């Protein structure tokens, strides 16, 4: 039996055969991965399962981008920083910096205030 678009049908058939081979390879790879021994379950920390030490801090997952910026600025410093440093680094106003520090404290981040004989307070994550 001869079709008018037999060439097109044959091309589509070849394409489908290629897709089937690809899907077979993917399912075979999935089966191989499932047969490997699994790692023990990660401890549940604050509602977030953490398998290993990630590049980011698990506490920052639920933060808004603004709070996350302040959190990482404080976390990545080995020394306490002033409000002026936070404002300069993030290009925000001092009132916004204080508000963000307050919101971080409300969300359970332990921010330590250091006043060693200075007028300006310095902040760091405890």
The CATH number covering residue 84 comes to: 1.10.10.10
The answer to whether residue 73 is domain-embedded is yes
Query: Residue 97 sits in which domain range?
Result: 56-125
The answer to whether residue 66 is domain-embedded is yes
The secondary structure element, H or E, covering residue 124 is: strand 122-125
Phi and psi at residue 48, in whole multiples of 5°? Answer: -120, 125
The answer to whether residue 113 is domain-embedded is yes
Query: pLDDT class for 60, splitting at 50, 70, 90?
Result: low
Whole-number mean pLDDT of the chain? 80
| pLDDT tens-digit map of 19-40 | 888 888 888 888 888 787 776 6
Q: Confirm whether pTM is higher than 0.85.
A: no
For residue 43, pLDDT over 60 is answered with no
Query: pLDDT class for 54, splitting at 50, 70, 90?
Result: very low
The answer to whether residue 106 is domain-embedded is yes
């Amino acid at each position: 039996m001869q079709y008018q678009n037999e060439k097109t049908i044959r091309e589509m058939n070849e394409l489908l055969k290629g897709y089937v081979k690809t899907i077979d390879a993917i399912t075979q790879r999935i089966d191989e991965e499932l047969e490997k021994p699994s790692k023990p379950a990660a401890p549940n920390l604050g509602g977030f399962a953490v398998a290993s030490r990630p590049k980011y801090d698990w506490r920052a997952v639920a933060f808004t981008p603004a709070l996350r910026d302040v959190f990482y600025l404080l976390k990545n410093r080995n020394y306490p920083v002033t409000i002026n440093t936070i404002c300069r680094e993030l290009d925000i106003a001092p009132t916004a910096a204080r508000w963000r520090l307050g919101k971080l404290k409300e969300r359970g981040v332990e921010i330590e205030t250091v006043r060693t004989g200075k007028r300006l307070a310095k902040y760091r994550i405890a």
